[in-house]
């Protein structure tokens, strides 16, 4: 019986394959609003990187305000953060790797009292130079709190550059990151800025301690987080090169979504992945209005978390009216998603399905075509569907070989390639 079940599961694994070459999602933004200042001293320069946001209990949400010194507040939601906890993480002493600031980017509650943090550190000291412009050499570090986030202990760097810090002020290092928990593979993943794009590193230590991180290099996590070389992910190279990535797991589509800004002031891009390692080509979702305005520092925000969404999703970001002025706007826009999930094989009867996900009412057409583009089955034809998740039964129509699911909406046509052996 056990052998039969193993063969059945093996069959389910090899019978159905999905090519990730088709970008089968559309993301749009609406209704940007400015989040008001609840009394945080660093608010005029916020956001300045990734925003950590999570539930303290059923009615209270915690927000971490990351800056050269980091603060924590709590309230009913992101807009109503009315309880200020004060500064919780300060810059280091002269001569330290974080003498220029400690931006608490990613925070996780291990228990009610034990919290884990990862912070962006800046070194502003360059021998013999005053560095009035506060040019930074960057790194990533780990810290812990044992009193529910009120005070923190710094445990040291986890990611540093393979390049030497120069003598004269120059932007560089390894920072501008965010961390996610990959529970399926029991690991922490950090997505950081490297010289030619966005790299990634992993730690399989329960607390992501210093010395346990490996950078992704030449196809595997093989080099030390401290000084080892790392490769940029392909979507972030060339014209899309950028930084300050934010990741969230979007449950309705079963994907990880990643947003980041480019360094050429084009705007904010997004991409998605099913396994956190292989990513689609990046697409622009929020264009910069043009000089002197600028839009940077995106963070995905759900109703209860910056790590997980069961449907409702927002994008927070910084918006400068004038980049030459020292303050910026903290803006929040609602995210609308239209897309197809990766098809699944359900063991009972080998039933295969995909999900069509809409977060707002949309006029759509959805058809299954063969390898030559001939219509096999039309699920919807120019039909206006309300927001929701629609289950698409593929099993009666899938023949061995290549098929395509074609989704047409006012935003254009998206195609997902399916291979059935």
At 295-331, the pLDDT tens digits run 999 999 999 999 999 989 999 999 999 999 989 999 9
Residue 21 has pLDDT above 50, yes or no: no
- Is the domain spanning 2-23+340-420 CATH 2.60.40? The answer is yes
CATH code for residues 33-337: 2.115.10.20
For the chain, the structural domain boundaries read 2-23+340-420, 33-337
Distance CA 163, CA 321 (A): 35
pTM recorded for the entire structure? 0.86
Q: Using one digit for the tens of pLDDT, what is the confidence trace for 372-396? A: 889 999 999 999 999 888 888 888 8
Task: Please determine, for residue 241, whether its predicted confidence score (pLDDT) is greater than 60.
Answer: yes
User: Mean pLDDT throughout 247-273?
Assistant: 92
Q: For position 6, what pLDDT does the model report?
A: 30
Average pLDDT rounded to a whole number, residues 339-358: 67
218: left (phi > 0), else alpha (psi -120 to 50), else beta? left
């Amino acid at each position: 019986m056990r052998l039969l079940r193993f063969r059945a599961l093996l069959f389910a694994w090899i019978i159905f394959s999905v090519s990730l070459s088709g970008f089968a999602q559309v993301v749009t933004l609406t209704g940007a609003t400015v989040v008001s200042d609840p009394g945080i001293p660093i608010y005029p320069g916020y956001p300045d990187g990734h925003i950590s946001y999570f539930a303290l209990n059923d009615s209270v949400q915690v927000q971490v305000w990351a800056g050269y010194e980091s603060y924590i507040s709590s309230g009913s939601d992101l807009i109503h953060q009315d309880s200020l906890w004060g500064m919780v993480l300060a810059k280091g002493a002269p001569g330290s790797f974080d003498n220029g600031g400690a931006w608490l980017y990613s925070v996780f509650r291990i228990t009610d009292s034990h919290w884990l943090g990862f912070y962006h550190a800046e070194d502003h000291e360059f021998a013999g130079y005053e560095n009035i412009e506060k040019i930074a050499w960057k790194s990533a570090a780990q810290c812990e709190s044992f009193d529910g986030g009120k005070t923190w202990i710094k445990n040291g760097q986890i990611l540093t550059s393979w390049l030497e810090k120069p003598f004269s002020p120059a932007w560089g290092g390894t920072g501008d990151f965010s961390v996610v928990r990959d529970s399926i593979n029991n690991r922490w993943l950090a997505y950081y800025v490297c010289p030619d794009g966005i790299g990634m590193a992993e730690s399989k230590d329960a607390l992501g301690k210093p010395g346990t991180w490996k950078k992704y290099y030449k196809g595997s996590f093989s080099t030390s987080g401290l000084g080892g070389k790392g490769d940029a992910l392909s979507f972030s190279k060339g014209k899309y090169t950028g930084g300050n990535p934010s990741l969230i797991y979007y449950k309705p589509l079963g994907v990880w979504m990643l947003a980041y800004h480019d360094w050429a002031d084009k705007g904010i891009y997004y991409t998605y992945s099913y396994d956190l390692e292989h990513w689609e080509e990046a697409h622009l979702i929020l264009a910069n209005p043009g000089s002197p305005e600028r839009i940077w520092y995106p963070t995905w925000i759900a109703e209860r978390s910056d790590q997980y969404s069961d449907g409702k999703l927002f994008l927070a970001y910084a918006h400068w009216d004038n980049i030459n002025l020292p303050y910026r706007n903290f803006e929040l826009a609602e995210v609308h998603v239209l897309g197809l999930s990766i098809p699944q094989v359900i063991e009972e009867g080998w039933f295969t399905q995909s999900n069509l996900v809409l977060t707002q009412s949309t006029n759509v057409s959805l058809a299954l075509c063969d390898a030559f583009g001939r219509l096999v089955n039309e699920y919807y034809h120019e039909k206006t569907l309300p927001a929701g998740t629609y289950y698409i039964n593929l099993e009666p129509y899938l023949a061995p070989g290549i098929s395509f699911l074609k989704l047409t909406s006012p935003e254009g046509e998206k195609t997902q390639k399916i291979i059935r052996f």
